[in-house]
Chains A and B, each alone.
Chain A
Amino acid sequence: MRRVIATVVTAALSVTLAGCGGGTTSAKNTAGVPAKGGDLVIVKALDSKSMDNTTTFDNDSIWVFEQMMEPLYTVTEDGKGVKPWLATSFTLSPDKLHYTFTLRKGVTFHNGQPMTSADVKFSIDQATKTKGGWEFINTAIKSVAAPTPDTVVVTTKYPWAPLVADLSNFNNGIVPKDYAGMTSKQFYEHPVGTGPFKWDHWTKGSELKLVKNPNYWQSGKPSLDSVTWKPVPDDNTRTLQLQGGQAQINEFPPISSLGQLKNSSTVQATLFDSTKTDYLLFNHTAKPFNDVHARRAISLAIDREAIIKSVLFGNGKPANSFMPPQVPYYDAATPGLKYDLTAAKAELAKSTTPQGFTATYLAAAGDVQDAAIAQILQGAVKPLGITIKIENVDPATARARQDKQDYQITHSSWTMDIADPDELVSFAVDPTTGAKAFYTGYSNKDVIDATHAAQKAFDPAVRQAKYTFIQKQAAEDAFMAFLYYSPYQWAYSKKVQGFKPYPTGNYHLEDVTLSK
């Protein structure tokens, strides 16, 4: 208790002093010398749901279990490629169907077992056999073999360029063979992996704690003794926790509060590059959204800068492509539609509804960004004679209706899980994958063919040409209105060093140090 009071008083004094002293906060940097050890506390809005890496979809679970279970390769810091992790290299057969991975030596699981190819085969097979989880990432995999204890051969059904990126996804994280003698259910209550942190305990709703893995394969890491994630639903409460020193990292503080943090000498906020992209979805099976001119007209009428200023307080960039800049093969030259009211009117004049029309925007109640976008859209298309009615439903209802294509216009977003465009591109423009082209019903044969060709091409120049074409055509077809790219905002104590979420959103806590 005394330590709490001391920390709080120190924090309060520093904040007061910073305020009095005219805010020369950079000079008063309390970072100090990075020390070994320390217990990190991260506060976030929602608790994790499950540690099962093959079936869990929420980031609050994923970013936690990634500290325990690791894949053969992993995403690079810029999000644009993959680097060796539990495997050190791979070779590809001439027919492009067999990948031979060499496993890293000296890697052990948290229970002391050494990692071998049998464990790798088991893990990837389990991920592929899942139902209703991430198995779609592994659809191209035909079989996995373990010819020697430190080599694994993955065979694909057809030439498949995204394979290594797919294997870097967390669903292919390596666990002990046969779940170390437990059932799958028992195993995931306290998973065992090779990662920098191992299981300690989880009091649901209260805290989830992992402790240092002293035998981690990266020598000298991790520095932290433990990491605890605490769910704190209220934005203000999280901010107070950080200010008071009870937490060192705050996940996604409200963007409106970031400005205040500039004047703090103990806490800082950083906007990290992310792959998050926001869109307006048009339902092509609902008139007049089957008409490309109507869609282009709406997209041209949107002032994206105004939305960014209002919704993100200026922290974002207009999106010119449905792919975000941090993904390989993103083309910055993609002619995304930009705000041009004259051109919008001209497009509508060419459409089947030149006088305008009435449409309904399906909004998720309680989502502040959604509400703001809906209102801005309403005002933006009025000059075209288009009337937008806003229908607010609860998020689960909005989700179900989007899946069934029971909407006219709605808002959605995407973040990448892998360092390959294929996951997003297949999902967004290829209706044969089952998601009906991001629930829009878009179907352009040339774009679909290019998607399939890019999956099977290994030459980066060929893939780039295909993806450039896909992005350009998708932009011209305005199958969705691309809105903006936004960063991931994090607030954390200045004592925290080395904290860097990657564009895929996950972070490597083995690189984090906490100074005293």
Chain B
Amino acid sequence: MAYLAFIGRRLWQLLPVLFGITLVVFFMIHLIPGDPASTLLGNRSTPQAVAALRTQFGLDQPLYQQYLDFLGRVVRGDLGSSFVYKSPVRGLVEGRISATLWLLGAGALFSLLLSVPLAVLAASRKGAARDQAVRVVPLIGLGMPTVWVGLMLQLFFALRLGLFPVSGFGTSFTEHAQSIVLPALTVAVALAPILVRSLRTSLLDVLDSDYVLTARAKGISRGRLLVRHALRNAAVSSVTVLGVNIAYLVGATVIVERVFALPGLGTLMLESIYSRDFPVVQGVVIVIAVLVVIVNLATDLAHASLDPRVGVEA
């Protein structure tokens, strides 16, 4: 019950956040130099053609009027129509959100699959060779440029071994699953080092605490100790680290999307900024803002469920 109230409160708080975001994004994108009509027309642009298109796009109205029209549409769920694609923004976003969610989800999963065992391995014997290795080797992953990691994975697993497609997202569920492996691995290679270090530190802290000492004195095995007791408690702070990074990733997946030709929101946002496709920029930012808030919410809920001392009253 407290959980539901918590979720409700947080979603309610989303509204002023969204309002502020629409205000900032709308004015920023409209006030920077560059014009959607002349960008569309390219070297076929003449003042008459530009004026005709601007009228079609409603850009000849005063700015505050355009903002009010936009806000009025948004509350009705209408995100407007793309200047470039000449089709509803909602449709464009709906078509792209799937790839982004797959990438975020699979990326988070692979990051966990990589980092948890490594962190447990490192913490199991502090200072030993395996600990040193786990502390240093993932740093290489952190330092490697995403483009290069993606390319290497494509060359080896896709081209040479033929296990996964080189790029693309496919159309069916199985194709999505096959196509997301390499991109998610690319994300994990960059994210895992951060998680490993954070989780390892938390594990070591927990292993030093009194109740662990008690458990050891009672004769519990190392394995059970690590996994059933220490990990659960250490996970708490790492969940926050993971949540923050996933939230950041929501907009930052552009590079991975580009290398693997994934039709995601990041690419759509970048392209629409370049072409000054105002409705799409506005629409995508709103969706990304909602996603980020949801990820933060999920992080808090996970945090609360892992640590009974943390309530959901706040």
Contacts and interface: CB of A to CB of B under 8 A. Distances in A.
Contacts of A57: 40-42, 44
Nearest to B259: A234
A396 interface: yes
A204 B98 CA distance: 12
A395 B151 CA distance: 27
Interface in A161-210: 185, 188-189, 203-207
Contacts of A136: 44, 46, 49
A400 B38 contact: yes
Contact of A400 (B35, B47, B56): B35
A132 B258 CA distance: 31
A237 interface: yes
B132 interface: no
Contact of A237 (B33, B38, B167, B263): B167
Nearest to A237: B167
A396 B40 CA distance: 9
Interface string A119-134: 0000000000001111
B45 A396 contact: no
Contacts of A52: 86
Q: Dominant SS at the B interface?
A: helix
B166 A205 contact: no
A403 B41 CA distance: 11
A97 interface: no
Contacts of A244: 158-159, 162, 166
Contacts of B147: 234
> Which of A188, A230, A237, A397 lies at the interface centre, i.e. has the most chain B CB atoms within 10 A of its CB?
A237
Contacts of A433: 46
Interface string B14-37: 000000000000000000111101
A12 B156 CA distance: 12
Given A9-B162, A233-B258, A394-B34, A240 B45 contact: no
A27 interface: no
B159 A12 contact: yes
Contacts, number: 144
B56 A206 contact: no
B285 to A, nearest CB: 17
Given A49-B85, A52-B86, A204-B85, A396 B35 contact: yes
Contact of A403 (B50, B56, B162, B274): B50
Interface in A1-17: 4-5, 8-9, 12
A414 interface: yes
> Which of B40, B43, B92, B147 lies at the interface centre, i.e. has the most chain A CB atoms within 10 A of its CB?
B43
Interface of B: 32-35, 37-50, 52-53, 56, 84-87, 92, 95-96, 99, 147, 151, 154-155, 158-160, 162, 165-169, 171, 258-261, 263, 267-268, 274-276
Closest 8 CB pairs of A and B: A205-B263, A396-B34, A434-B46, A132-B52, A132-B53, A5-B162, A8-B162, A232-B261
29 contacts: A4-B162, A12-B160, A49-B84, A50-B85, A132-B49, A132-B56, A133-B49, A204-B92, A205-B263, A233-B258, A233-B261, A234-B167, A236-B151, A240-B166, A241-B167, A244-B158, A244-B159, A393-B33, A394-B34, A394-B274, A396-B274, A396-B275, A396-B276, A399-B35, A399-B38, A403-B38, A403-B50, A414-B43, A433-B46
Given A400-B33, A438-B43, 16 more contacts: A4-B165, A8-B160, A49-B85, A50-B84, A132-B53, A232-B167, A234-B147, A234-B259, A237-B259, A240-B155, A396-B33, A396-B39, A396-B276, A399-B39, A413-B43, A435-B46
